[in-house]
Each structure stands twice: as C-alpha cells, then as structure tokens.
Amino acid sequence: MLVDLDHVFADPLFDPNRCGIGYHPLHSAIPIFVYVLGAIFIKNSIIRLIFIGLLFHMFTDFIDCLWMFSYCEECYTSSEIYKWLNFSD
C-alpha cells in the first residue's frame, strides 16, 4: 500500500515498539478525518475505494498498536493515541 511510504520516511526508519498511528504524517488525526469524509462523501467509486483502503490501513495499524500496548505499557503512554485520549490534562 502506498501509504506505507509514510512509514519509510518516519524517523527512526524502523521501530517495532512504536505505534504508527498519530506518528506518521499520513496517520495522524486530520488525515484520518479526511479519509473518513472521503469514504463517505466522494461519489467517484475508484477514489472512494482508495479512501476506504486508507481507512482499512489505519484500522490494521491501530490493531497492531493495541496488540503492542497489551504487552508494552510504556509504548502506550508514549504514543500519540494516549495523548489524544488524555488531551484534557
């Protein structure tokens, strides 16, 4: 998937104990919001499929993160998802 180029450009290049969601430029809150809107509202079926594919990719990355968090507490507390959920404090 093309969006994984995003993982390659991230620094450091490969870190299995880092959640990609919120970290990579194309995996942060605003792009994900755009993918949701695109998947819902875009009429062109090919472009729409691309947005759905992107969303599905975010979903699989998210599952990876949850799996990682289940055995790595520090991975969770240092992730962007943790910051989103604890935005109020």
Which residues make up the interface to Zn ion (CB under 5 A)?
20, 61
Q: Which is nearer to Zn ion, 11 or 44 (CB)?
A: 11
- Which of 86, 54, 88, 70 minimizes the C-alpha distance to 19? 70
Q: Give min distance, CB of 32 to Zn ion, in A.
A: 11
Q: Which is nearer to Zn ion, 45 or 49 (CB)?
A: 49
Q: Both tokens of residue 7?
A: 């993982």
Q: Give min distance, CB of 20 to Zn ion, in A.
A: 5
